[in-house]
Amino acid sequence: MLRLIIVSAAVVVVPIGIYVASKYGTMEEVTFERARVTAASSTESEQAPKALIPVTIILTAEQSGTGMIVAKDSEGKEFNLSFTGSEPTKPLLSGTSVRFVGHVHDGPNPYFHATQVYE
């Protein structure tokens, strides 16, 4: 009887777990503006929500003179990006298309603080 209950529970719970993981386990690609709106809707006590933004690098941190990367998202909007993750396998050069994971710092000079990069 116990075996039947365990097998029945596994048959029901495993597919539900797989569905939830596939639906909510992957990050949706967003634009910088959408990430700003999402960050603005969170409260001060909450951690800023993570976002995945595909970008083309316009200026490297050295080229910009500000210490921040200048990037362009899929809508063509240019924004500042601070990358504090580990060194990527390929250098982040102008014209390179990559995807960054991080969060938005809003305010008078909004920027995206990235902690991960995917090529």
Instruction: Please report the domains of the chain, with CATH numbers, ordered by start residue.
Output: 28-118 (2.40.50.140)
Q: And the tokens for 100?
A: 């960054």
Phi, psi dihedral angles at 98 (to 5 degrees):
-140, 175
Residue 102, pLDDT score: 92
Judge contact between 106 and 34, C-beta under 8 A: no
Residue 45, pLDDT score: 62
Name the region of 51 (left: φ>0; alpha: ψ -120 to 50; beta: rest): beta
Q: Which of 113, 94, 90, 86 is nearest to 32 (CA)?
A: 113
Residue 11, pLDDT score: 86
pTM of the full structure: 0.75
Residue 18, pLDDT score: 77
pLDDT along the chain (119 residues), means of 10: 85 81 76 88 74 94 92 94 88 92 89 91
Residue 38, pLDDT score: 84
